[in-house]
Chains A and B, each alone.
Chain A
Amino acid sequence: MSSYTAHFKVWRGDADGGGLQDFQVEVNDGEVVLDIIHRLQATQASDLAVRWNCKAGKCGSCSAEVNGHPRLMCMTRMSVFRRDETVTVTPMRTFPVIRDLVTDVSFNYTKAREVPAFVPPKGVAAGEYRMAQQDVERSQEFRKCIECFLCQNTCHVVRDHEENKEAFAGPRFLMRIAELDMHPLDAAEETGLNRAASAQEDHGLGYCNITKCCTDVCPENIHITDNALIPLKERAVDRKYDPLVWLGSKIRRRGQ
């Protein structure tokens, strides 16, 4: 096993400001950026604030920007950097800093509450749900989301436009609407809620101009833009202009 000393720059500070701090730190074979942050905590900066949980890419807690790229620190291998390369770790830019690498992500929880919940079908008892695998798979792709909020962080609609946060749910929660819209048994329609139209009118779907930045940073490789946002846009537009087109497209999809 070989180890070496790496040069790290880690942003430290709080809501009042801060800056990059330099560290020389040991790196061993097979380690990821989060291991190095932990080593800094244990040996050089015991109060360095960072969120993490599973360390296996399953919980979405350790989101940050590594050399400017939005990443999960637990899934960023040190082997992707040259040994003489400076590794710079900064907090997600779109959300207000609390301390060091920890940001205030409450924006996302606010948006989550604004998306109307799953509406169970009337007259179908628990245990009586029947759905085909191919019908659940479309929504299942979106339910792989680990809520790391890297897509929310990256989306240029809000990344440098604080003023858009009010009106725009962000890719994660527009995808949540798509997920419910594609759920085989969601009965929102019967309650008078058209999810696709609501995405457009209430959750800012129109702000998205499909640059696919969200898809690029998704650690779960969910095709957010192609499979969630674009179909949602199509349905929103179709419904707006022609109910027959919408019906036709729904039947065609079923047949696939």
Chain B
Amino acid sequence: MTNVERHAYDVVVVGAGGAGLRAAIEARERGMRTAVICKSLFGKAHTVMAEGGIAASMGNANEHDNWQVHFRDTMRGGKFLNHWRMAELHAKEAPDRVWELETWGALFDRTADGRISQRNFGGHEYPRLAHVGDRTGLELIRTLQQKIVSLQQEDHAETGDYEARLKVFQECTVTRILKDRDRVAGVFGYVRESGRLFVIDAPAVVLATGGIGKSFKVTSNSWEYTGDGHALALLAGAPLINMEFIQFHPTGMVWPPSVKGILVTESVRGDGGVLRNSEGERFMFGYVPDVFKEKYAQSEEEADGWYTDPDTHRRPPELLPRDEVARAINSEVKAGRGTPHGGVFLDVSTRLSAEEIKRRLPSMHHQFKELADVDITAEAMEVGPTCHYMMGGVDVEPDTAAARGVPGLFAAGEVAGGMHGSNRLGGNSLSDLLVFGRRAGLFAAEYAAGLGPDSRASATAEQVDAAAAEVLRPFGAAEGAGTGSGGDGSGAAAENPYTLHQELQQVMNDLVGIIRRGPEMEQAMERLTGLRERSRQVGVEGHRQFNPGWHLAMDLRNMLLVSECVARAALERTESRGGHTRDDHPDMDRLWRKVNLVCELAAEPPAEDAGAPAVTLRRRPMDPIRPDLLALFERDELLKYLTDEELDA
């Protein structure tokens, strides 16, 4: 068997963002020896990029708020494709998860009477987002990180070893879930710093790896977002759902080119920022869809009144759910009413004083000043849509976060599907991480504890050997194919991973982007197949020690698999809903609401048939929504989403 480092834990958590750390805390508090594995340094996960806040119906800013209202907003935001049970658990448990952070040292902004302040956000009926200026994600990650350190301090006091029960393996990449027959047996991966290979034997694995944005050219996501958990789950035999739904955040920076896609927080609009086109028109009034007509202001006067008197005014249309705003901006630019750099104007300088902007939106102020020479206290920002969030993910049991079909595998956060339906509301991500991170940790711990030590198995030597060969192949490709003069002429030249990645990003951006068309997606499928074939020849230079070319070569496998899921599902769904907009099928169809598209790994295609699909797709009916939850809505509203038969059943 290949020479690998070998460790054993009760629970392994892959990913150290909000969901992963919350899962790890829970598993450790339930007495499990827990390992956390992350690609970056501890505390650098993508969660730090979250800006606006954590949605939780604490009712601090408006006493009418409660979990039912939050549940309704979440279902509306997701166009009723959400798994209702997840949306229910999320709405009910979010306040406790936020308050718990305070007991671990978090310092949120306060209301006048000393409670946690809550701000407005798109799609939320009441001010609901707990926040710290516009750096809420940093507060979340740091609080969880510091809670982990405090647990390690407890363990140190008791055992003399900080890592006795909870260890963070930082800068490590997991490339395979290992199995014993149908059950999880551990993970295989490599240490980025040294290139050493390792196995962790564990009966329970929690995936908390985040999203897939790096498959797109214009994205707010960091390099880590390469769909690792999505691909790991698929390869382990778990299905993915809702993969056609990708959120394009309406406001990313558009200039300069090097920062194109970097997020501009929705708080700018929540705190009064307005969108205008190049003609100075506040265009969002023209883009309120029928399903939201009653809830949004029809005139600038009414919208402006809402900021001071929300009880007698309707909300400004800038605060529609993100999918609506992103499409509107896209249409304005396409119609020739864009800014010089191909965006629209977002202006908060006319609403708030310079001092107030610096207090409420400090990192936006800093980001624009430093990177774009724009002073947002005095002038408008230029913004446009950017690939931001993956609604789709591992098909999980709503209560336990257990992946269907693979005992011992759990998933939480962005890598899990179902919670957000076809579109996520701003602020619902951080609360999702905490609610389902905790549940995944809890049920992974219960599962591991329930297996006696005798019934634990470790992966076979063959599996480990195969995983090792897969990881090391790019070095062989470079030697075999001869990137220099010493090629043996046995095959094509080694492919450069950076080149393949750039081509993939271009394909996804152009052909499976914010507005989709059937023929373009068919073309995308072909291009993806070609890229997948070429990726087998990917080669890297240098050695295994901290080699980013090699790391990217590994991540490419995941991005290609996930991209195929996205393209395949998007081609299949012939309607427009949430984060999936079909130019050739522009309407929402109530029949499609009843259907989840499920992606699964195809049987291993024979080596010579590289053109065969890597994933297969099937339709699955949605679980009917529980009657007491349906009763929270007016029938008139439900008729926009549900069929008559569903309502009369």
Contacts and interface: CB of A to CB of B under 8 A. Distances in A.
A117 B546 contact: no
A49 B135 CA distance: 28
A132 interface: yes
Nearest to B542: A47
Interface string A201-238: 00000000000000000000000000000000000000
B545 A14 contact: yes
Given A58-B363, A120-B103, A30 B257 contact: yes
Contact of B547 (A47, A52, A56): A47
Given A105-B41, A126-B96, A130-B114, A117 B150 contact: yes
Nearest to B102: A129
B222 A53 contact: yes
Contacts of B84: none
A53 B223 contact: yes
Interface string A93-126: 0000011101001000100110011101000001
A41 B255 contact: no
B257 A59 contact: no
Contacts of A55: 222, 259, 262
B107 A139 contact: yes
B408 interface: no
B107 A183 contact: yes
A171 interface: no
A30 B258 contact: yes
A127 B99 contact: yes
A32 interface: yes
Interface in B422-474: none
B110 A53 contact: no
A132 B259 CA distance: 37
Contact of B149 (A58, A117, A129, A144): A117
B302 to A, nearest CB: 31
Size range of the chain A interface in the assembly: 35 or more
Nearest to B483: A46
A120 B139 CA distance: 17
A146 to B, nearest CB: 7
A49 B147 CA distance: 31
Interface string A37-65: 00001110011111111111111110000
A129 B498 CA distance: 50
A124 B166 CA distance: 27
Contacts of B283: none
Interface string A13-53: 01000000000000011111001000001110011111111
Interface stretch (B44-52, B347-355, B593-601): B44-52
B372 interface: yes
B42 interface: yes
Residue of A53, A55, A133 with highest tally of chain B CB at under 10 A: A53
A126 B546 contact: no
Contact of B107 (A54, A61, A77, A136): A136
A136 B110 contact: yes
Contacts of A109: 42
B223 A56 contact: no
B365 to A, nearest CB: 11
Contact of B138 (A126, A131, A146): A146
A83 interface: no
B497 A53 contact: no
Interface in B20-74: 40-44, 46, 48-49, 58
B149 A46 contact: no
Given A99-B545, A129-B99, A58 B257 contact: no
Interface of A (DSSP majority class): loop
Interface in A175-199: 180, 183, 186
A67 interface: no
Contacts of B370: 57, 75, 77
A50 B548 contact: yes
B102 A126 contact: yes
Contacts of B95: 127
A48 B548 contact: yes
A56 B102 contact: no
Contacts of A59: 40, 44, 48-49, 222
A170 B259 CA distance: 32
A98 to B, nearest CB: 6
Interface residues of B, number: 71
B131 to A, nearest CB: 11
B49 A61 contact: no
A133 B107 CA distance: 10
Residue of B132, B546, B550 with highest tally of chain A CB at under 10 A: B546
Nearest to B147: A117
Residue of B133, B256, B262 with highest tally of chain A CB at under 10 A: B256
Residue of A49, A58, A77 with highest tally of chain B CB at under 10 A: A58
Contacts of B285: none
Interface string B77-91: 000000000000000
Given A47-B548, A146-B138, A31 B258 contact: yes
Nearest to B137: A58
Contacts of B262: 55-56
A58 B541 contact: no
A46 B496 contact: yes
Contacts of B278: none
B149 A112 contact: yes
Contacts of A31: 256-258
Contact of A98 (B105, B114, B193, B256): B193
B363 A133 contact: no
B404 interface: no
Given A59-B222, A118-B104, A139-B107, A47 B541 contact: yes
A51 B149 contact: no
A14 to B, nearest CB: 7
Interface in B205-253: 222-224
A113 B107 contact: no
A46 B540 contact: yes
Interface string A142-186: 011111000000000000000000000000000000001001001
A5 interface: no
A140 interface: yes
Contact of A58 (B40, B110, B135, B156): B135
Given A46-B541, A105-B41, A133-B110, 5 more contacts: A48-B548, A51-B41, A127-B58, A129-B103, A136-B110
Q: Ordered nearest first, which 8 A-B pairs have the shortest CB separation?
A: A30-B256, A47-B542, A118-B105, A117-B150, A46-B549, A130-B114, A126-B99, A49-B546
29 contacts: A31-B258, A32-B371, A42-B499, A46-B496, A46-B540, A46-B548, A49-B547, A52-B223, A53-B46, A56-B259, A56-B263, A57-B366, A61-B41, A75-B371, A77-B370, A98-B193, A99-B545, A102-B193, A109-B42, A113-B156, A117-B149, A117-B153, A118-B146, A127-B95, A130-B113, A131-B110, A132-B114, A133-B117, A180-B105
